[in-house]
Amino acid sequence: MVRQVIGQPRQAVETLPAYRPGKAASQAEEEHGITGAIKLASNETPWGPVPAVTAILAQSVSTINRYADHRAAALRERLASWVGLAPEQVTVGCGSVGILQQLFLSYVDPGDEVVYPWRSFEVYPVFTQLASGVEVATPLVDHIADLDAVAAAVASKTKLIVLANPNNPTGTARPISEIGNLLQQVPNDVIVVLDEAYHEFMNPALGDPVTDLLPQFANLVILRTFSKAQGLAALRIGYAMAAPELIETLDKTLPPFAVNGLAQIAAMASIDAHDQVMERVELIKAERSRVVAALRDRGYVVPEPEANFVWLPLGQTTDEVHLELERAGVVTRPFPGEGIRVTVSTPDENDRFLAAL
Ligand SMILES: Cc1ncc(COP(=O)(O)O)c(C=O)c1O
């Protein structure tokens, strides 16, 4: 087929590699001619949402002929009282990545610098390039963000700092007090984004930025999501917590009705069922300890995970191990030449991974 050229995309878009999601189990089955593959590649929860959420979703499907509340006022109220903030200090978006993209749209002009430790979540360089910003990547030390290097990388053109804590794909986290030390060193016109997609899986002793940092730092934005612990990944709903001025700016860039009605309803029901959600989180954390111990017993280096996945820094053997695991029906996420990221799942699925490895 002759490909017709229609229009000229912006150079930033034309040179952008497409986002590469984790491979579906069905795709691996097709590629390798196998059956019964399992997906441990996207840090999802293995179970559907808790029963109360499933029930209210079933009852609410018939309402989707109507646009939902663009401002998600009821959910914001519920969220705010849940996290102990004022409704003006929270907003919701189309997944936490949706809000992250709004932050880039709001704060990054062409040529502005965006600082983040690297390796980290793949969308950070994508959003930087889309905004025609300039990436300033600081190295990890022992698979964990080096916050001194981040502070040292801040310059007059820096607009955003993005920190995934816990980090994806290494799973490591810095104590919140250390992030506070970084904030002390950063000029207050630089926005610091703390991406806490895996917050619920962290050791609470590491601190909570909502209580420990937000009251002091008006340039801090905390992102969290209903995709991971709450099991609502496909509904696309995340939230941000920050000073009211920052939330107001963010709200200007939300595409109309980007937070769908079912997502709003499910998020509220999920907050109501938070104890049940956390029971599931505890199951995953217990499995995480078991998997890490088994791996370390076998001599693997495993950085201390604070999220629902483990990082195996396999270096040059990454591609081979990833491929063999996939042939054995265990789909993990490879980072060629660096390592594989493996989602912690049910005991059965974790055993499949350990056996295949
Ligand atoms: C660090 C990090 N932030 C954000 C997200 C995406 O979350 P959401 O589904 O809320 O867009 C992910 C998902 O993999 C992630 O690893």
| Alpha carbons 41 and 126: distance in angstroms, whole number | 20
Kindly state if the Cβ of 102 falls inside 6 Å of ligand 1.
Answer: no
Mean pLDDT of 104-110: 98
What pLDDT does 19 receive?
A: 76
Task: List Cβ neighbours of 214 (8 Å cut-off, separation of 6 or more).
Answer: 85, 89, 220, 222, 241, 242, 243
Closest by CA to 235, choosing from 270, 272, 260, is: 260
pLDDT tier at 1, thresholds 50, 70, 90:
low
202 CB less than 6 Å from ligand 1? no
Is pLDDT at 4 greater than 90 in this prediction?
A: no
Q: 51-272 has which CATH code?
A: 3.40.640.10
Question: pLDDT for 242-269, tens place per residue?
Answer: 999 999 999 999 999 999 999 999 999 9
pLDDT of residue 3 exceeding 80, the answer is no
Separation between Cα atoms, residue 247 and residue 151, nearest integer Å: 24
- Going from N- to C-terminal start, the domains of the chain cover 21-43+275-356, 51-272
Closest ligand 1 atom to Cα of 227 = 9
CA 197 to ligand 1 centroid distance, Å = 5
Query: 21-43+275-356 with 51-272: one CATH topology?
Result: no
Which atom of ligand 1 is found nearest the CA of 226? 10
The residue whose CB lies within 8 Å of the most ligand 1 atoms, and thus the one to mutate among 122, 168, 230, 260, is 168
Q: Whose structure tokens read 């009705």?
A: 257
Best of 127, 163, 225 for a ligand 1 pocket test (most atoms within 8 Å of beta carbon): 225
pLDDT digits (tens, 9 = 90+) for 5-43: 788 889 889 888 777 788 899 999 999 999 999 999 999
Please write the tens of the pLDDT for every residue from 129-174.
999 999 999 999 999 999 999 999 999 999 999 999 999 999 999 9
For the CA of 43, the closest atom of ligand 1 is 14
pLDDT (0 to 100) of residue 21: 80
**CATH superfamily name and code, 21-43+275-356:** Aspartate Aminotransferase, domain 1 (3.90.1150.10)
Closest atom, ligand 1, to C-alpha of 97: 11
pTM above 0.85, yes or no: yes
The distance of Cα 172 from the centroid of its chain, to the nearest Å, equals 13
